[in-house]
Amino acid sequence: MRRRIAVVGGGPAGLTFARVLHRHDHPVTVLERDAAPDARPPGGTLDLHERMGQVALDKAGLLAEFQALSRPEGQAMRILDVDGTVLRDWRPRPGDRANPEIDRGHLRDLLLGPLDVQWGRQVTRVDPGTRDGVLVHFSDRRQETFDLVVGADGAWSRVRPALSTATPHYTGVTLVETSLTDVDTRHPHLAALIGDGSVAVYGVNRGLVAQRNSGGHVKVYAQFRAPLDRPTTLTDAEPSDAGTLRSQVLALFDGWAAPLLDLLRHGTAFVRRPLHVLPVSHTWAHIPGVTLLGDAAHLMPPLGVGANLAMLEGAELAESVAACGPDDLDEAVRAFEEQMWARAGIWATITAAGLDRLVSPDPAAALALFDEVQPG
Ligand SMILES: Cc1cc2nc3c(=O)[nH]c(=O)nc-3n(C[C@H](O)[C@H](O)[C@H](O)COP(=O)(O)OP(=O)(O)OC[C@H]3O[C@@H](n4cnc5c(N)ncnc54)[C@H](O)[C@@H]3O)c2cc1C
């Protein structure tokens, strides 16, 4: 008899898990809180690494389609100082496909493909170990039972409390995100500054990053150390009054070169994202029938690996589940968890140290970090 498997969350982790199971003709129920794929803006661009996100897409049979959609030129990266002087200017070599960029919306649509996602299904709680399996509770008071429930529901997971008492804590760093549209025609001086990929500037305890997405769209992230001025419980992203937040952020970057400030001046909607993380090396005592993937398992600073890990884990767990016999499901999940914890612990340590260096009193520490990871 086929196992009843549900994944909670249709982000990179949940969709990759479901898509790889689908490739193995294994049924899976995808439960997503959003009412529709385009219910909210999909967010910025992601670079998918050759040894992580791209491996996952290969396991899903989607690597060729990814290569057609992605932007290898988006790997270009420039670092400036606060006066606007170029300190580093990396460009990908022809044929370099180590970390091509893809818009989140394009990745979501690629993964969705033929999947039959149940939209508008917000999970509130799961109870493992009932007589008939794992009981899933929904916000509309309905309930359903499964043999395996995979929590891929992100930072503020509603599945996680069934396994662990850990909750995300604030890192001390806040991002304010804004967007530029039609940058090539409306702001050509900023298009030239950003180039084909990203531009990053690091000052004392703050940084500014602008990343080109497709279609002349740019995401700008201002990052700085700040106290958490209001308690965050269920969401990390709060849309804010554009005028007020723009002035507040511009004041923080006072004295920086005018074109850098233009990245903020011309921004449209502003969103405040206090960065939260789970404890490094977050693990739990294994419980049959429930597990976690991606940010739900190991939320870490956004330094370019979260979605990659989430997808790789989704693909690996799906392959294990598809390959195991009817009585081996629990052992397959347990082995997967051990492997996920070991790898995620290493990345959580690296990214926590990375955030401290990127938003630090010494801008030279940020530059040195890039010199360590970029080829000369
Ligand atoms: C500004 C920024 C830039 C980043 N850049 C990169 C990058 O370049 N590369 C990279 O690898 N990573 C990056 N990350 C990290 C990356 O976004 C995350 O690690 C990744 O999205 C995690 O995927 P996930 O599927 O685990 O969770 P999520 O993407 O958070 O998806 C969770 C899904 O679950 C749904 N959900 C939530 N609660 C419920 C519920 N109760 N019931 C049902 N559904 C629910 C949500 O609606 C969502 O669809 C960045 C993060 C930020 C904030």
Residue 86 lies inside a defined structural domain of this protein: no
CATH number for the domain harbouring residue 201: 3.30.9.30
CA of 185 to the centre of ligand 1 (A): 31
Q: How far apart are the C-alpha atoms of 110 and 19, rounded to whole Å?
A: 10
Checking if the pLDDT of 375 tops 60, the result is no
What's the pLDDT score for residue 41? Answer: 86
pLDDT in tens, 100-140: 999 999 999 999 999 999 999 999 999 998 889 999 999 99
CA of 154 to the centre of ligand 1 (A): 5
Residue 294 lies inside a defined structural domain of this protein: yes
Residue 83 lies inside a defined structural domain of this protein: no
Does residue 103 line the site of ligand 1, with CB under 6 A?
A: no
Claim to verify: residue 52 and residue 129 sit in the same structural domain: yes
Claim to verify: residue 67 and residue 215 sit in the same structural domain: no
| Residue 295 annotated in ligand binding | yes
What's the pLDDT score for residue 287? Answer: 97
Residue 52 lies inside a defined structural domain of this protein: yes
Claim to verify: residue 270 and residue 300 sit in the same structural domain: no
Cβ density class 309-345: b for 16+ within 10 Å, e for less: bbbbbbbbbbbbbbebeeeebeebbeebbeebbebbe
CA of 94 to the centre of ligand 1 (A): 31
Residue 306 lies inside a defined structural domain of this protein: yes
Residue spans of beta strands (DSSP E) within the chain:
5-8, 29-31, 45-47, 77-80, 86-90, 101-103, 117-118, 123-130, 133-138, 143-146, 148-151, 169-180, 198-203, 206-212, 218-225, 238-240, 270-277, 290-292
Residue 92 lies inside a defined structural domain of this protein: no
Q: Which of 30-39, 91-100, 189-198 has the lowest mean pLDDT?
A: 91-100
Mutate to test the pocket of ligand 1, among 29, 31, 32 (most ligand atoms within 8 A of CB): 32
Does residue 152 line the site of ligand 1, with CB under 6 A?
A: yes
Claim to verify: residue 153 and residue 261 sit in the same structural domain: no
CATH number for the domain harbouring residue 137: 3.50.50.60
Does residue 11 line the site of ligand 1, with CB under 6 A?
A: yes
What's the pLDDT score for residue 376? Answer: 43
Instruction: State how many domains the chain has.
Output: 2
Residue 26 lies inside a defined structural domain of this protein: yes
Claim to verify: residue 185 and residue 257 sit in the same structural domain: yes
Checking if the pLDDT of 283 tops 60, the result is yes
| Owner of token pair 């970090």 | 369
Claim to verify: residue 227 and residue 134 sit in the same structural domain: no
User: Helices 104-112 and 12-23: crossing angle, nearest 10°?
Assistant: 30
Residue 254 lies inside a defined structural domain of this protein: yes
Claim to verify: residue 116 and residue 46 sit in the same structural domain: yes
Q: If you average pLDDT over residues 166-185, what whole number do you get?
A: 96
Claim to verify: residue 208 and residue 157 sit in the same structural domain: no
Claim to verify: residue 288 and residue 139 sit in the same structural domain: yes
Does residue 302 line the site of ligand 1, with CB under 6 A?
A: yes
Claim to verify: residue 352 and residue 365 sit in the same structural domain: no
Claim to verify: residue 47 and residue 146 sit in the same structural domain: yes
CA of 327 to the centre of ligand 1 (A): 32
Domain limits for position 236? 170-277+360-373
Claim to verify: residue 235 and residue 339 sit in the same structural domain: no
In order, the DSSP letters of 4-16 are -EEEE--SHHHHH
Average pLDDT, the chain: 94
